[in-house]
Chains A and B, each alone.
Chain A
Amino acid sequence: MLFEVARTALDSGITVLSLSGNMTVGNQLQQFEGSVRELAKSKQNRIVIDVSRVTYLDSSAIGVLVACHGAARDAGGQLRLAGVSSRVSTIFKMTGVDKLLTIDPTKDDAVSALSAGA
């Protein structure tokens, strides 16, 4: 099953990527990581990934989110996750990435934090 990505470029220069569906191992994950790396390289390195409509994700998806986090940081920007469900949060804790990724309750919270330079 594929997941969907909706991209919104805000006037502030922040890019919001809203994901929905199941994020699991496969080529689509690699394509998503590639597109985020391109964003970071193109100086659009303040990125929000809204996962509030992601119902399921596996360790491969976590690996991609971690890679995207690193790509934004290495480009001098920041990536923030928003809308993490209780179950996805549990999976993050199982793997320790809750200690690495920056997570906000909502997309708006993440946008506000990036706008404020948090």
Chain B
Amino acid sequence: MAVFSSTLDSRFECVEDAEESVRNFARESGFEESDEYFIALAVREVLVNAIRHGNRFDPDKKVGLRVFREDSELVIEVTDQGEGFRLESVPDPHLPENLERPTGRGIAIAKAVMDELSVEHSPSGTIVRMAKRLPSG
């Protein structure tokens, strides 16, 4: 099974290379360029959240990235060492009262791009798991 995995420092500077790796993996998995673009964006958003809100830029904490194909899906897992969050607690940026919030749109983008997004908690941290159906044919 083809797997891409990487461990990132909790710095925004690390996001671009990871994003590019996911984009390449998506291309190799048969996605069209437009899908690659948005999948890369979804991963960027979750990585930035892991660095900012999960690990809070702590240089001693790492962000894990794992990408693989399983059954008929592209699966992307982002792991951080933070306290975690509940998906249902993330404010909906579409609501009128949230339209002008400076932050809080990353998860909305990731959810819109991917077919599935879930959050799991473990003693070692938080895993955001995303999946998108592979192109048919």
Name A's B-contacting residues (CB within 8 A).
1, 24-26, 56, 58-60, 62-63, 66-67, 69-70, 87, 90-91, 94-97, 99-100
Q: What is the bound-complex CA distance between A62 and B48, given in angstroms?
A: 14
A95-B93, A95-B108, A96-B94 are contacts. A66–B41 as well, Cβ < 8 Å? no
By Cβ-Cβ distance, the 9 closest A-B pairs, closest first, are A96-B94, A59-B105, A94-B112, A95-B105, A59-B106, A63-B102, A100-B99, A94-B109, A95-B93
Name B's A-contacting residues (CB within 8 A).
12, 15-16, 34, 37-38, 41, 44-45, 48, 93-95, 98-103, 105-106, 108-109, 112-113
Q: Within 8 Å CB of A1, what residues of B?
A: 16
Contact A100 B100, beta carbon cutoff 8 Å: yes
Q: Within 8 Å CB of A94, what residues of B?
A: 105, 108-109, 112-113
Nearest to A99 among chain B residues (CB) is B99
Question: Secondary structure at chain B's binding surface: helix, strand, loop or mixed?
Answer: helix
Contact A24 B108, beta carbon cutoff 8 Å: no
The smallest beta-carbon distance between A56 and chain B, in angstroms, is 8
Q: What is the bound-complex CA distance between A91 and B105, given in angstroms?
A: 10
Nearest to A93 among chain B residues (CB) is B112
Contact B48 A58, beta carbon cutoff 8 Å: yes
Nearest to A58 among chain B residues (CB) is B44
Given contacts A91-B41, A96-B94, list 13 more A-B pairs with CB under 8 A.
Answer: A24-B15, A26-B12, A58-B41, A59-B103, A59-B109, A60-B103, A69-B100, A70-B100, A95-B108, A95-B109, A96-B93, A96-B99, A96-B108
